Structure 1
Amino acid sequence: MADTYDILIIGAGPGGYVAAIRAAQLGFKTAVVDREHLGGICLNWGCIPTKALLRSAEIYHYMQHASDYGLSAEKVGFDVGAIVKRSRGVSTRLNGGVGMLLKKNKVDVIWGEATIEAAAKGNTPGRVTVKDTSRAPAPKGALAAGSYAAKHIIVATGARPRAIPGIEPDKNQVWTYYEAMVPQTMPKSLLVMGSGAIGIEFASFYRTMGAEVTVIELLPQILPVEDAEIAGLARKRFEKQGIKILTGAKVTKVDKAADAVTATVETADGKTQQLTAEKLISAVGVVGNTEGLGLDTVGVTLDRGIVVTDGLGRTNVPGIYAIGDVAGPPMLAHKAEHEGVLCVETIKGLPTHAMDKAKIPGCTYCQPQIASVGLTEAKAKDLGFAVKVGRFPFAGNGKAIALGEPDGLVKTIFDAKTGQLLGAHMVGAEVTELIQGYVVAMNLETTEEDLMHTVFPHPTLSEMMHESVLDAYGKVIHT
């Protein structure tokens, strides 16, 4: 058996590699196991490459509307192969960067598929067997498959696309985000099943590139986790762009032809219709990767496919921990990273506390962008808060007008009794960058008075954040 590690992490995604680096910083002898790619799904097949695709679509959109800015652009077109190549190149570059960070911090990389054979007991370390699965070439310097010992084992195996029985992805006509990120040709028509962040981002990308897109959502509202007012405004923008949207509808059957897929869609009133397109993207959520890890063997408690933890990464089995998507929602890379740090610092014995998931921001990088943190207006009222709500439209902001982005809204929700900022929700240009201002404010327990007396730079989009707060208390200036 190899030398014993203090901490061995299964999975080198955002949660896993960040946990590994923090562990090394704290003096732990650390290893991370992965079977396919450093950086995980986020870096290789999720967050990062989709943003590269969406950036290409954004530039293409601006080129098509060059005359709006006093410019001219002739024979505007695109090369789908080049777009995909750029996206993959971005991921490759960052994948290499993760490898360099792990090496710099003296974290061992073990290549293969891990199974927990035993948890630590007393002075006896736990055991992990790593098998060579040959899914991808091992990074330079990676350790070979074998048996490894560790005092602490952290499961950070992430999640994979959820498959609906009877509508399983086939990599040809029914896609997951894997296939949607690397199209060989641009489909002329597309059905998107699910209107969460993944579905809406792909709907936005493909529509901007010219495809006829229909989004099918089971719930009454697209972007179901977002504030209803913000989601409604986003829907109007999407429909104005030509995206067709069906809510309160579900796909009950999919029939495939040589060059098309036909979905039978049932609406809330019991009526059915058939929609045909070249491709269908299944974006109905993800499920944790818990299979094959030996969790059942060592007695780790699962709940509906998610590892149960105490908020600091600890499972019911001493010496075994879980972070990131496999430990439950929100299934976001930044949540996984922070969980990794909390978990390792807890192992070290440093003062820690479970994160407040209500203060984790969510972002959707479609056109227009959507960003939020905290309670929606409806949720705040459901919890019994008397609320003050502020709104400020992009149309009242000088920077937004100058950018040619006059459509959007910033919305803030306060506790009327205390002035506590309960939630903030935005739709419009660059709101994914703006939202962090409110995240910081919420974590510092900033009141409406603090925000009203904060000086925001001019001219910026961030001024709308200030005006929205002022509007909640009847002091708005520019509307």
Structure 2
Amino acid sequence: MTTADPVLACDLAVIGSGPGGYRAAVLGALRGLSVVIIEKADWGGCCLNRGCVPKKDWYHTARLMAAQTHFAGRGLDGPLRADLGRAWEHQRRVVDGIRTRYLDYLHHLKVTRLDGHARFLDPQHLSVAHPDRPAQRVRADHVIIATGGQAQIPAPFKAIPGKVLTTDMLFDAPPPPGERVAVIGSGVVATEFAYIFSQLGRQVTWLARSPMLRRLPLSRPARDALTQALARQGLHLRNGIGFEAITVTDDDVRLHLTGDETLAVDWVCLGTGRRPHTEGLALEQAGIRTDDRGFIRRNGQLQTDVPHIYAIGDVACEWMTANHALAEATTVIGHIRDGQARHLDPLRVPMVVYSALELARLGMDETMAEDTGHEPAVGFAAFATSPSALGQDDTEGFVRLIADMDTGALLGGEILGAQAGELIHLLSLAPDRDTALAWIARGAFNHPSRTEEILNAAETLAGKWGLEDRVFGL
């Protein structure tokens, strides 16, 4: 990489340092590319600073609180007492430590970091503006846009520090005082925070316009089990709610609902979705278009209208998860480095909900399978008979595998229960769909372990639907 010219030249420029951008920069450097990565705010992006990392930290604390129901039976004395303020301090220490390691690794790989706001000058050049120094021009052979998303705030809400918080704001400052919290939204984020707050000493009122997790293709057993688990924690989503207005006073926040109902809470958490973050990029200068929802348009290789410019993660992917951003980064770097067409099947990327029960899934459910011409066969194994789960006093949940009845190809999977977010990786790592069940059946599993239930589900599927030769015969 040369810096003699006022234009900084590189093989790859990455805009955004969230999970997708960071991974793209690391993989690019490991594969011999000269890389510049640009970040206008906090290094690590939303996921590290305000999203999945601190939220998972709080989720672990919430699960520790929930586990105390089994203390007496194990000879342990309780109860525990939750302190949300100290939990906030813990996640801050964790986040700061991870960020330091991230930056150290980029330095080790000789990735050039630029602080500032990037905008396109033309398809080949970027300008990186910073308030404390002259703008830096960058010329890149390839560009990856990984600028993520930002909180969506529906009317009549407005973000007000200490009173009405988006999930992005939750980790910027210690939590507001007051135990009465209204969580607004029915998607993954709202479902997670409603549970977390309930375990960390808050009185949660959960309101939304839509039913819980409406966009996720979940089986009825999984949806029902999660609903029941939340109900046991006193969490009931009131959906179909209309919000007429909000009134913020020094003492409380009042939500004026349709039907002349008013609810008073101490503060509000908005888990109402996200939207792509493209403001200020000057995409039009590069000839890049967005769709009617603001997502950057791209093809199956994740290329924008300009072939050497790619878009990954929340700025272009409607699922808006870190898992998709990471998988897309791997796909793009492979395409840049090898020049060969690569296709990422988004249905093979795990999606996880961390709530009263962990719920992980990938691929198709029965309805999706039928809609695409498959005749689905289902294999099932319950954790209620798992020696590992019984020893952990945590037997709720199951493994469900969906396969094609004719070919035995694995079409999808769903895992509900403790550690589901870890177990689902076994399905995503299968070499291909056609041989995935045979790959699982040939595996050697630790005993006792929850992972064994994936093997049991595969064997059950094979025996029930006459697929023994395809599963055990390879």
Given the two structures, how large is their TM-score scaled by the length of structure 2?
A: 0.89
Instruction: Tell me which amino acid in the other structure corresponds to 2:103.
Output: G
1:191 to 158, 179, 182: 182
Measure, in 2, the Cα distance between the counterparts of 1:265 and 1:455: 55
Q: Does 1:240 align with 2:228?
A: no
Query: 121, 128, 131: which is aligned to 2:129?
Result: 131
Q: 2:154: which partner in 1?
A: 164
The answer to whether residue 118 in structure 2 is matched with residue 114 in structure 1 is: yes
Pick which of 288-297 and 318-327 moved more.
Answer: 318-327
- Report % sequence identity: 27
Structure 1 residue corresponding to 2:54, chosen from 49, 68, 80: 49
Equivalent residue number for residue 123 of structure 1: none
Q: Which residue of 1 aligns with 2:166?
A: 176
Partner of 2:299: 310
Q: What letter matches 2:225 in structure 1?
A: L
Residue 440 (structure 1) aligns with:
429
How far 1:72 sits from its partner (Å)?
A: 1.1
What is the rounded CA distance, in whole Å, between the counterparts of 1:417 and 1:250 in structure 2? 47
Q: Deviations over 1:33-60 (max 9, x none)?
A: 1111221111111111111111122223
How far the C-alpha of 1:4 sits from its partner, in A, is 1.6
Question: Which amino acid counterpart does residue 286 of structure 2 have in structure 1?
Answer: V
CA deviation after TM superposition for structure 1 residue 470, in Å: 3.3
Q: How does 1:322-471 map to 2 (within 5 A)?
A: 322-441=311-430, 443=432, 445-452=434-441, 454-471=443-460
Give, in angstroms, the shift of residue 431 of structure 1. Answer: 0.7
Corresponding residue for residue 95 of structure 2: 91
Alpha-carbon distance in 2 for matches of 1:410, 1:265: 40
TM-superposed deviation, 1:234: 0.3
Instruction: Work out whether 1:281 is the aligned partner of 2:279.
Output: no
CA–CA separation in structure 2 for the residues paired with 1:242 and 1:367: 11
The letter of the residue matching 1:401 is L
Alpha carbons of structure 1 residues 407 and 77: separation in structure 2 relative to 1, 3 Å? same
Q: Which amino acid aligns with 2:329?
A: G
**Cα distance change of structure 1 residues 110 and 98 upon mapping to structure 2, 3 Å threshold:** same
Kindly tell me: are residues 258 and 241 of structure 1, through their superposed partners in 2, closer, same or farther at Cα, counting changes over 3 Å? same
1:78-136, CA deviations, whole angstroms, 9 ceiling, x for partnerless residues?
Answer: 333321111011111111111111111111101111111111xxxxxx221111157xx
Residues in 1 aligned to 2:317 and 2:104: alpha-carbon distance in whole angstroms: 29
Contact map agreement 2:348 2:428 (CA 8 A) in 1? yes
- Any gaps of 5 or more consecutive residues in structure 2? 1-5, 466-474
- Post-superposition Cα deviations, 1:232-287, rounded to whole Å, max 9, x if no partner, equal 21011001111121234443433333332233445xxxx67443322222112111
| Cα distance in 1, alignment partners of residues 174 and 378 from structure 2 | 43
Q: Distance in 1 between matches of 2:374 and 2:415?
A: 21
Determine the structure 1 residue equivalent to 2:471: none
Give runs of aligned pairs for residues 203-282 of structure 1, distance below 5 A: 203-222=194-213, 224-229=215-220, 230-265=222-257, 273-282=261-270
Matches of 1:97 and 1:85, distance apart in 2: 19
Instruction: Tell me how large the CA RMSD over aligned residues is.
Output: 2.4
Q: C-alpha deviations, 1:269-318, integer Å up to 9, x for none? A: xx674433222221121111111101022221111211111132321124
* Structure 1 residues 25 and 442: alpha-carbon distance in aligned structure 2, compared to 1, 3 A threshold: closer
> What is residue 19 of structure 2 aligned with on the other side?
14
| Counterparts in 2 of 1:260 and 1:381: CA distance versus 1, 3 Å | farther
Aligned partner letter, 1:359: R
- Contact 1:113–1:133 at 8 Å: present in 2 too? no
Code of the aligned partner of 1:151: D
Amino acid at match of 1:290: T
In structure 2, relative to structure 1, the CA distance for the partners of 1:254 and 1:442 (3 Å cut) is: farther
Aligned residue number for residue 309 of structure 2:
320
CA pair 201-349 structure 1, distance change in 2 beyond 3 A: same
Distance 1:157 1:380 in 2: 33
CA contact (8 A) 1:414 1:421 kept: yes
Cα deviation code 1:132-173 (max 9, x no counterpart): 157xxxxxxxx9742222232221111111111321222232
Residues 1:200 and 2:191 are matched in the alignment? yes
Given that 2:252 and 2:267 are in contact with CA atoms closer than 8 Å, whether structure 1 keeps it comes out as yes
* Pairing 1:5–2:5 present: no
Question: Aligned match of 1:150 in 131, 135, 140?
Answer: 140
Mean Cα deviation higher: 287-296 or 384-393: 384-393
Distance in 2, Cα, partners of 1:394 & 1:276:
41
Which range moves more in the overlay, 346-355 or 444-453?
444-453
Q: Assess if the C-alpha contact under 8 Å between 1:35 and 1:133 holds in 2.
A: no
Query: 1:261 & 1:244 partners in 2: Cα distance?
Result: 20
The answer to whether the Cα contact below 8 Å between 2:8 and 2:136 also exists between their aligned partners in 1 is no
Stretch deviating more after TM superposition (107-116 or 295-304): 295-304
Query: By how many angstroms is 1:452 displaced?
Result: 4.2
Q: Indicate if the aligned counterparts of 1:7 and 1:28 stay in contact, CA closer than 8 A.
A: yes
Q: Compared with structure 1, are the counterparts of its residues 210 and 443 closer, same or farther at alpha carbon in structure 2 (3 Å cutoff)?
A: farther
Amino acid at match of 1:403: Q
Question: Deviation string for 1:375-396 (max 9, x for gaps)?
Answer: 1223223334222222222212
How far 1:475 moved relative to its partner?
A: 5.5
CA 1:133–1:176: 2 relative to 1, 3 Å: farther
Partner Cα distance (1:3, 1:203) in 2: 46
- Contact map agreement 2:84 2:200 (CA 8 A) in 1: no
Q: TM-score, normalised by structure 1?
A: 0.89
Give the drift of 1:426. Answer: 1.7
Q: Which residue of structure 2 aligns with residue 28 of structure 1? A: 33
Q: Which moved more, 1:371-380 or 1:445-454?
A: 445-454
Q: Is the 8 A contact 1:193 1:251 kept in 2?
A: no
What secondary structure sits across from 1:178 in the alignment? coil
Matched to 1:113, the amino acid is H
